[in-house]
Structure 1
Amino acid sequence: MSNNKKQSKKAQTEQSQNNDDLKQDIKTEIDEEQTEINNETDFEQAANCSEESKEEDLKQISPEQESNEAYSDLQDKYIRLVAEYDNFRKRTRKEKDMLYNSSLIDVCKVWLPVLDNLDRAVEALDKLESSESEQMSEGLAMVQKQANDAMEQLGVKEIKSLGERFDPQYHEAIAHVDNPEYGEDEIFEVIKKGYIKGDTVIRHSVVCVAN
């Protein structure tokens, strides 16, 4: 009988403990839910304050400030556009000049043998002593001058060679002789004339060099 009472009392104690634990769990859940609600409320309030702050900032920007900012943006875009166009124009002009010079040099290379033949014809006629050859020589000399003038108008010039010091940048030597009458590396004979346009050598002068 005594054992039954003890067991009953123990059961009552355990039941009471379980009830207390249940109450504590319920209270904890209620506190957690309340905390979440408070956090959500704080977040909403902060968001509302942020939106209100943005609206206040926008209201503080005057129409004059907006106009100045828009003008500055347009001015920056205009300056960039002008700079880009200027660079494009310079690049296009440079490419055009390079293409023109390249085409002109190609044409001159084809035309130079004609000038060489004119030079040879004038030299050959000058060696003849007849009146007819003299008249022909004068006529060819006029044609030769016109051809050379046309080349100069195109910016193509003859490379000075006779009596000049040999320069491998402009001259091509096919013979070397020792002759005290000439200076060191002096060109004493031009076999074929050379031509240049600007800094570009179209054809080197073919020459004979002394000493």
Structure 2
Amino acid sequence: MKLFRQSLILTLLLIVLCSVLYPLAILGIARLAPGAGEGQTLSRHGRVVGYARLGQRFQRPEYFHSRPSAVDYNAAGSAGSNKAPSNPEYQALVRARLDTFLRQNPGVQAAEVPAELLTASGSGLDPDLSPRGVLVQVARIARLRGVEAEKLRALVQQQTESPLLGLLGPARVNVLRLNLALDELAPLRR
């Protein structure tokens, strides 16, 4: 009977610890984070247009395009592709993405297209591209928006986030923030 009572008390303590105290501690920490645990929303003209840390689809040619998503940018189902690089279906998908990119970006050679524009990230929701992944799209956007390519390169440089502490991780550009800044720099002609 003594062992049963000890087991029951330990079980109840662990339930309280793991099911109540730990989640409350994590919630408290999240409330201190940017966005207070609700995510960092980005707004335009008082209307929320997206989340800073979630990738989004940008299909219109006059915008910088994001990294492809294996989950169609659905945050409820974060996942990568389960196909190996040697899988024929996967190779066909990457080839189709490359063909589409080259068609939309005349003058760009296949060797200039970074792999991140052809392959989905592990989460399928990566909001960032490398500066190289963005700069390869500048000529298309300059032509379609009627703005000098040099101004777009400066905008990309302005929107580039440095590695953490100057050495941890790569430089990156948040595509949603960049596209919002692009609309400020060169509004779409209607």
* Normalised-by-shorter TM-score class: under 0.3
Question: Normalized per residue, which structure has more strand?
Answer: 1
Larger relative contact order, structure 1 or 2 (CA cutoff 8 Å, min sep 6)? 2
Which structure would you say has the larger Rg?
Answer: 1
- TM-score, normalised to structure 1, is 0.24
Question: Normalized per residue, which structure has more helix?
Answer: 1
